[in-house]
C-alpha cells in the first residue's frame, strides 16, 4: 500500500473534497444504495464557500497519498458528531478509513469529548461496528423525494492511559 498521510484540512481544498465525497457516494455506495438514492444523496459535488465553511468549522482530517486526497472525515468539535466520512472507491478496504477514524477519535479525546455520535450509512455501519461503535436505530431520511436509510450510532471514548 502506498504511504497514506493523515493531516488537517488545507486552505483551498474544500472543492476537491467535495468531488471526493461525490465519487464516494455515486460509485462507492453502489453496494448499499440504488442509483436513485445515490443521485438524491449527492446530486452534484458540494462546492463553494458554504461547503468550505462547513469543513473549516469542523475538525476535518484528510488522508493523502502521493499528494492527493483519498479520504476524509469531519467532526463537530462541540458535540462530538462525526459528520462526514468518505473514502475514494478505489481506496476502500486499504485501511484509510481506519487510520482516519483512529486520529479523529484521538482528536476528540484531546478536545475532552467523552462520546461520539453519527448517522451512519449502510456502508459505514459495519466498519463502525468493527471499531467499537454501538448500533442504533434504522432511520429513514428523505432527500429530493427519495427515501434513504441510515443508522444512529454512538461510541463512548475511553481515555488513553498516560
Looking at the predicted structure, is the pLDDT value of residue 160 above 70?
no
Confidence of residue 21 (pLDDT cuts 50, 70, 90): very high
Looking at the predicted structure, is the pLDDT value of residue 72 above 70?
yes
Fold of the 5-114 domain: Aminopeptidase (3.40.630)
SS (H, E, C) 27-83: HHCCCCCCHHHHHHHCCCCCCCHHHHHHHHHCEEEEEEECCEEEEEEEEECCCCEEE
What is the structure's pLDDT at 162? 54
Mean of the per-residue pLDDT values of the chain: 95
- For a pLDDT cut of 70, what percent of the chain falls above it? 97
State the cell numbers at 14.
474544500
Amino acid at each position: 500500500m502506498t504511504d497514506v498521510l493523515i493531516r488537517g484540512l488545507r486552505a483551498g481544498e474544500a472543492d476537491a473534497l467535495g468531488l471526493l465525497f461525490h465519487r464516494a457516494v455515486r460509485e462507492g455506495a453502489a453496494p448499499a444504495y440504488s442509483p436513485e438514492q445515490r443521485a438524491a444523496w449527492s446530486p452534484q459535488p458540494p462546492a463553494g464557500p458554504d461547503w468550505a465553511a462547513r469543513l473549516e468549522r469542523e475538525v476535518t482530517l484528510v488522508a493523502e497519498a502521493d499528494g492527493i486526497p483519498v479520504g476524509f472525515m469531519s467532526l463537530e468539535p462541540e458535540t462530538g458528531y462525526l459528520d462526514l466520512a468518505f473514502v475514494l472507491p478505489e481506496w476502500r478496504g486499504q485501511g484509510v478509513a481506519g487510520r482516519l477514524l483512529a486520529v479523529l477519535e484521538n482528536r476528540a479525546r484531546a478536545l475532552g469529548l467523552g462520546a461520539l455520535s453519527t448517522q451512519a450509512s449502510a456502508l459505514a455501519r459495519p466498519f463502525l461496528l468493527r471499531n467499537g461503535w454501538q448500533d442504533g436505530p434504522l432511520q429513514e431520511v428523505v432527500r429530493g423525494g427519495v427515501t434513504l436509510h441510515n443508522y444512529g450510532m454512538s461510541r463512548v471514548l475511553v481515555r488513553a492511559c498516560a
